[in-house]
Amino acid sequence: MLGRAQLTAVAEARSRLLSHIGEIKPGVQRLPLEKCLDRVCASQVVSPEDLPPTDRSTMDGFAVIAADTFGASQSMPGYLDIRGEVVMGEVPAGKISRGTCFKIPTGGLLPAGADAVVMHEHTVPVDSEVVEIIKPVGSGANLIKQGDDIRKGAVAVERGQLLRPQELGLLAGLGISEVEVYAPLEIGVISTGDEIVDYREIVSPGKIRDINSIVLSSLVRRCGALVHDYGIVSDDENTFFSIVEEAVTENNLVLFSGGSSVGMRDLGEQAIERIGNPGILVHGVSLKPGKPVIIGLCDGTPVFGLPGHPVSAMVCFDFFVRPAIEILSGITPVSTINQPSVQARLKRNINSAAGRLDVVRVQLELEGDVLQARPILGKSGAISTLSQAHGYFLIDEDSQGVSSDDTVDVYLYP
């Protein structure tokens, strides 16, 4: 058993891990823009041009010289001669001089000479050649000027930014059709234990079906990484060491799970210590569930020994593995933004030990107007509780518990 004194606080464990892997960078690929969704930009992209390349109208109306509209009002309109019409997608022919205007659609190129657009609603048609202006505009009104959106040479996307639909849109707008992105991580997943069998097989009495492989592989896939599933590995020392070593060689990160027993725990620690440097970074954290997690680094490859209980393994994934995957993926963390949450009223008291971070899974339900959080208090290791939770709240190290009717911040499982 792990004594309280040997446990590392969650924040300390995480910062120890992340500080060791901050400098590791994945490979780089050059991909067509349409293949880049949810990939991470590997080199800064600067705008190759002004956008828009010329002044454009942001309204349907009339392109004018602003000074020609000064003093115009409903009772005292100004009159302008219509000298032409801007056609979408074409360069306007001709030039505006004092006392004249062009009809212009939203997005139309501003004709030479004009410096503003009067909205359609602030005009009254007279005939095909003359329009009444009933409201003045200042120079630059209802326009987006050359380079207003983004200037040539300005940074469009930074290295380390996730390429969301928005960033792909910006890059498409700039005519950038290929981007350097980081290669997806390759992550090895190993289940251990002589009692564990593949879930597709017949189980004989005493055996347990492997749950962690599919849960951890799925969590990894959702991070955009590739999974190498090493299946179920015997906890025989030679077999186990050689598979972990193989996985460390073949992947950017390795997860093994199973074996909360002391023997298996020791075996996991020995494997990490032997296979590479610096070896063990953290063994045991003040976290419930998730206490027996082992975190190591073998010559640049983080290796995680996760608890055998799927619930504990998933909590450790959320707190340690996902942040490591994000850093290794090349994402520049946006540390200033809290995790989004919903507020809910707790349905019962929950006690916690001081000095320990508790992760309490909850079901949410609306009672009247108030969202209620019902803690899920399944027996240790119950799998069905895994899928009953909408999310979880935290009882932090300074607290010895929370009371019924307290408001808690619930983080939803995606």
For residue 179 the two structure tokens come to: 């981007």
Residue 84 C-beta: closest distance to a copy of itself, Å: 14
Q: Please report whether residue 166 would count as binding a copy of itself according to CB under 8 A.
A: yes
Write the Ramachandran bin of 279: left for phi over 0, alpha for psi from -120 to 50, otherwise beta: left
DSSP letter, residue 271: H
Residue 56 C-beta: closest distance to a copy of itself, Å: 8
Choice between 164 and 348, CB closer to a copy of itself: 164
Q: Among 58, 146, 270, 332, which residue sits at the site for a copy of itself (rule: CB under 8 A)?
A: 58
Q: Please report whether residue 226 would count as binding a copy of itself according to CB under 8 A.
A: no
Q: Among 241, 273, 364, 406, which residue sits at the site for a copy of itself (rule: CB under 8 A)?
A: 364
Choice between 275 and 391, CB closer to a copy of itself: 391
Choice between 128 and 384, CB closer to a copy of itself: 384
Strand 100-104, strand 186-192: pairing: unpaired
Strand 226-233, strand 301-306: pairing: unpaired
Choice between 21 and 213, CB closer to a copy of itself: 213
Q: Please report whether residue 88 would count as binding a copy of itself according to CB under 8 A.
A: yes
Beta bridge partners, 6, equal none
Contact 190, 212 (CB under 8 A): no
Query: What is the chain's alpha carbon radius of gyration, rounded to the nearest angstrom?
Result: 31
Q: Please report whether residue 1 would count as binding a copy of itself according to CB under 8 A.
A: yes
Choice between 104 and 328, CB closer to a copy of itself: 104
Q: Among 13, 64, 65, 109, which residue sits at the site for a copy of itself (rule: CB under 8 A)?
A: 109
For residue 138 the two structure tokens come to: 């200042």
Residue 350 C-beta: closest distance to a copy of itself, Å: 19
Strand 294-298, strand 301-306: pairing: antiparallel
Choice between 110 and 244, CB closer to a copy of itself: 110
Q: Which of residues 17-36 bind a copy of itself (CB under 8 A)?
A: 33-34
Q: Please report whether residue 368 would count as binding a copy of itself according to CB under 8 A.
A: no
| Count of residues in contact with a copy of itself, rule CB under 8 A | 97
Q: Cα separation of 271 and 232, whole Å?
A: 16
Q: Among 28, 37, 93, 377, which residue sits at the site for a copy of itself (rule: CB under 8 A)?
A: 37
Q: Which of residues 228-267 bind a copy of itself (CB under 8 A)?
A: 260-262
Choice between 238 and 384, CB closer to a copy of itself: 384
The residue assigned the tokens 């079906």 is 209
Q: Which of residues 373-412 bind a copy of itself (CB under 8 A)?
A: 378-384, 386-387, 389-390, 411-412
For residue 304 the two structure tokens come to: 């995680």
Choice between 20 and 212, CB closer to a copy of itself: 212
Q: What angle, rounded to 10 degrees, do the helices at 237-250 and 262-275 form? A: 50
Write the Ramachandran bin of 17: left for phi over 0, alpha for psi from -120 to 50, otherwise beta: alpha
User: What are the backbone dihedrals phi and psi of residue 151, each rounded to the nearest 5 degrees, phi first?
Assistant: -95, 150
Q: Among 172, 226, 354, 377, which residue sits at the site for a copy of itself (rule: CB under 8 A)?
A: 172
Beta bridge partners, 57, equal 143
Contact 129, 8 (CB under 8 A): no
Q: Please report whether residue 50 would count as binding a copy of itself according to CB under 8 A.
A: no
Q: Which of residues 115-154 bind a copy of itself (CB under 8 A)?
A: 120-121, 144, 148-150
Closest CA to 308 of 210, 207, 188: 210
C-alpha distance from residue 215 to each of 94, 114, 201, 227, 292 (Å): 66, 63, 17, 12, 18
Q: Please report whether residue 44 would count as binding a copy of itself according to CB under 8 A.
A: no
Closest CA to 66 of 142, 137, 170: 137
Q: Which of residues 195-214 bind a copy of itself (CB under 8 A)?
A: 195-196, 199-200, 203, 205-214
At residue 182, the 3 state secondary structure works out as strand
Q: Among 4, 30, 98, 221, which residue sits at the site for a copy of itself (rule: CB under 8 A)?
A: 221
Residue 293 C-beta: closest distance to a copy of itself, Å: 16
